[in-house]
Chain A
Amino acid sequence: MIRESYRQYGDDELVKASLEGNKQAFGEIIARYKGMVARTVKGMLGDSVYSEDIGQDVFIKLYKSLPDFRGEAKLSTYIQKIAVNLTLNELKRRKRFFSMFTQAGNNEMYEYEIAAHDSEERRDAAEIVGKALKGMDPRFRIILTMRMLQGYSTRETAEILDLPIGTVLSRLSRAQEQLKGILNKL
């Protein structure tokens, strides 16, 4: 009920209130951006309890780093960067862990749970997207996640991933080739 009143607040006001220790205001930030974070984290790591933990870590890290947020970038971009960094760190950790036991890549941990949809068409869509994400190299999967699941432009993708635009363009092309290969098999 109290959180309702924060719905009309702008991001800057919510950040200010959160810095003053107002948990309700921070709760509104979570409510506003959890979907965006879920698309990045679950798009990259799949649907599992680990993704939930990483999602929580994103907001914990955001809360701790709010004093450093100067408002130069949009809050959504700032949160997205944290989500991308934590997700990529988790992928590296998994890769290290699996390389100790097996030659298998980190895709071993990718679980894409297809939600129970009402129609076959909708089930197909979820399955295709899930299999496409799962089959891609993480370097390309993050590009697909930013473009397809988040709707970012090439320039925004480069900014969030902290990559030169040339690198993103080259990865887009290679990711597209890989994706075509995966989708042809489906």
Chain B
Amino acid sequence: MKASEIKKMLIRSLDPDADTRDFPEKLEEEGVYFDFSYGFSDKVLDRLSHAVSASLPQAEFIKGMNYVFYRIALTGIAAIVILLISIFLMEGSLSINSFIGLSDTYDESIMCLLTGN
């Protein structure tokens, strides 16, 4: 194909009604082709493998943290329940005074404790 024909084809490709379906093929026949370098597919797959393996330890860490968090939270809730039961059994009530161990202490004795008199 002569240079003038290539130019005409380029201009024609921008006609809204032109059927350009076979233009890429025609260009390739004229030696105009675009491709990536040798081993392109393998490079992409390598990058994907690295991306997956790099994200794996991160995902494992987050999963591990979630597991540990649930274990700690459940243990904490169990400890609070046991504490409440033991306070109830020892003090006979669940009032604030029972919680902070002031059930048998009067205000005056606190003043004595604080002032030392």
Of residues 1 through 28 on chain B, the ones whose CB sits less than 8 Å from some CB of chain A are 1-3, 6-7, 9-11, 13-25, 27
A47 (CB) vs chain B CBs: closest residue? B34
Q: Are B51 and A60 in contact (CB under 8 A)?
A: yes
Range of interface residues on chain A?
A: 35 or more
A3 (CB) vs chain B CBs: closest residue? B41
Range of interface residues on chain B?
A: 35 or more
Contact partner of A151 (CB less than 8 A), chosen from B17, B23, B34, B40, is B23
A125/B6 contact (C-beta < 8 A), A147-B23, A150-B24, A151-B24 known: yes
CB neighbours (8 Å) of B44 from chain A are: 30, 56, 59-60
CB neighbours (8 Å) of B40 from chain A are: 30, 34, 52, 55-56
The answer to the question of B61 belonging to the interface, with a C-beta cut-off of 8 Å to chain A, is no
Q: Are A26 and B45 in contact (CB under 8 A)?
A: yes
| Number of residue pairs A-B, CB distance < 8 angstroms | 129
Q: Are B32 and A126 in contact (CB under 8 A)?
A: yes
B64 vs chain A, min Cβ distance (A): 22
Q: Are A27 and B45 in contact (CB under 8 A)?
A: yes
Q: Are A176 and B11 in contact (CB under 8 A)?
A: yes
Bound-complex Cα distance A121 to B23 (A): 17
CB neighbours (8 Å) of B37 from chain A are: 52
A147/B31 contact (C-beta < 8 A), A34-B41, A56-B44, A59-B44 known: no
User: What secondary structure prevails in chain A residues at the interface with B?
Assistant: helix
Of residues 114 through 128 on chain A, the ones whose CB sits less than 8 Å from some CB of chain B are 115, 117-119, 121-126, 128
Contact partner of A39 (CB less than 8 A), chosen from B11, B17, B24, is B24
The answer to the question of B106 belonging to the interface, with a C-beta cut-off of 8 Å to chain A, is no
Q: Are A34 and B49 in contact (CB under 8 A)?
A: no
Of residues 130 through 185 on chain A, the ones whose CB sits less than 8 Å from some CB of chain B are 132, 143-144, 147-154, 169, 172-173, 175-176, 179-180, 183
Contact partner of B14 (CB less than 8 A), chosen from A31, A123, A147, is A147
Known: A38-B36, A126-B31, A154-B16. 20 other contacts (CB 8 A): A23-B48, A43-B34, A56-B47, A60-B48, A118-B31, A124-B6, A129-B6, A129-B10, A144-B13, A147-B20, A148-B10, A150-B24, A151-B21, A151-B25, A169-B16, A172-B14, A172-B15, A176-B11, A179-B11, A183-B11
